[in-house]
Structure 1
Amino acid sequence: MNIQPTYSSLDYPGKMALVLFIPGCDLRCKYCHNPQLLKNEKFAPWELEEVFDAVDENIDFIDAIVISGGEPLLHVDVVKKFIKKAKKENLLIKLDTNGLHPDGVEKVIKSLDYVAMDIKAPLDEYYKISDVYPKNARQLITRSIDIIRQNKVFLECRTTYVPTLLTKDDVVNLVSDIDCDMYTLQQFRNRLTFDSSLANVTEPNPEDLLEIVQSLDTQIPEIHLKSNQFGNQTIKKQ
């Protein structure tokens, strides 16, 4: 099956979730830790039915469905089917997205409870992390954020910090361009990456990442730091 359900207590904060990783992505982030999901796939009806069966079998143990990828909004019709199932079972719905598909966001936003958007780099500098990216990334991401904020859906923005690709100033600049309820800076892990050369890059020290997030001058009400050593730390919460 192209969509492998995974169970997680971390992907939807405070909830037990069934996470659905949908293949296909329009970026090629050098640090991507799910490179097996980059290739776009078509889905047979029986594959969707298997996901629905997984929901039914575990309905007593899950609170939410997280639709992730890849980039799930490359398959809006599939996302809508999962949302419909979640609504039928009174489950919360979280969408993980790169923000480059505002039309897709608009089609599903009224059914969502939570959106996590990966802000890869300063909005005009996606070349730093991917050889493939839309030239109008700023406009697309800004519009996606506007749609989410207008519909009052909880929005977490998050950035994976790779020392050879981003700098402290990059994080400061990208945060100044976004409006969200929560911002999370994530530690790069070198275990599995799309660009194999990053296996030789040292994972950033959590103390260095802490210094970055503590230096942010932002009105974002909640700031988190996620690292292998210390898990998900709340650095600021208004």
Structure 2
Amino acid sequence: MIKLPVTEIFSSIQGEGPYVGTRQIFLRFPRCNLKCPYCDTETIVPKQFRIEINPGSRSFREFENPIDIFELVELLQSYDFSLHHSLSITGGEPLLWADELSSFLPLIKKKNLPIYLETNGTLPSQLLKILSLIDIISMDIKLPFGEEIFWDVHEDFLRKSLAKEVFIKIVVTEKSKLDDLQKARDLIAGINPSLLTILQPVTKVNGCESPKPGQLLDWQRFFLEKLMNVRVIPQTHVFMGQL
């Protein structure tokens, strides 16, 4: 019996990146291998996880963690798959559960629901365990914070992701450094300058402030010097009041 720990399940509107506005089922997993200063998501493994009964109702039922993967599929089917663009596998960092996902995701693929992976892009070996089961990869490039630097592992991860549809998201704050942005830009350009790159201004949290309008325009211009497709997209679900 294979079980997975879950944080929450809900149906909502994708608020980030190029698929903003599409309807997705969100399956959120606990735990993360990073501690980003702007993170606003709980990553502990709860004793119980919650599933929203009716989309947008903020009314939830609770179930014991972890849950058997077949029971999880049954729960997900309480939502009409035909209304949804895809299943968003998110976290935390969902690739921490790659072994379990390698057994769970084929059950979803049988339902003809595309799989959309949201990941911090730092676990390339884990990605390979489920890459064949993924349709779209939303990959973060994390600018350095504290003593954490990710350039080499991001490059490895991105090269492996090219087998699928992939786009890159870079969260930027008022204090983001041009040197770090240059390294991110050049990393992407060295792999494929046509890859869609999203500059995502941080939603104010934990003392992190969003960049000034002029900064965003300057940074977009800077990225466009070497990349072909650079967009600035904030977290739209926040001001739409969506989960």
Does TM, scored on the shorter chain, surpass 0.5? yes
Match of 1:189 among 203, 221, 241: 203
Letter in 2 for 1:16: R
- Tell me the residue number matched to 1:86: 108
TM-score normalized with structure 2 length: 0.74
For the residue of structure 2 that corresponds to 1:18, the secondary structure is strand
Matched, 1:120 2:142: yes
Change (3 A) 1:143 1:184: same
What is the RMSD computed on CA atoms of the aligned residues?
2.8
**1:157 counterpart (165, 168, 192):** 168
CA displacement, residues 107-160 of structure 1 (integer Å, 9 cap, x when unaligned)? 111221111111111xxxx3x2x56x4x6x3332222111112x2x11111111
**Is 1:148 aligned to 2:170, yes or no?**
no
What is the distance in 2 between the residues matched to 1:51 and 1:5?
Answer: 11
Query: How many residues in Structure 1 have an aligned counterpart in Structure 2?
Result: 209
Task: Give per-residue Cα distances to partners, 1:184-217, cap 9 Å, x unaligned.
Answer: 0011112xx4xx3x1xx44223342122112224
CA distance in 1, matches of 2:30, 2:70: 13
Q: CA offset at residue 223 of structure 1?
A: 1.3
Residue aligning to 2:61: none
Corresponding residue for 1:2? 6
Measure, in 2, the Cα distance between the counterparts of 1:224 and 1:76.
Answer: 30
Indicate the percent of aligned positions where both proteins have the same amino acid. 22
Distance across 2 between alignment mates of 1:86 and 1:77: 15
- The C-alpha deviation readout for 1:33-87, integer Å capped at 9, x for no partner, is 21x12x3569523587245422343223212111111110111133224422321
Rounded Cα–Cα distance in structure 1 between residues aligned with 2:177 and 2:74: 43
Deviation of 1:5 after TM superposition, in Å, equals 1.4
Letter in 1 for 2:8: Q
| Structure 2 unmatched runs, 5+ | 48-64, 239-243
Moved more, 218-227 or 103-112: 218-227
CA contact (8 A) 2:201 2:210 kept: yes
1:222 aligned residue: 229
Question: How far does residue 183 in structure 1 lie from its aligned partner after superposition?
Answer: 0.5
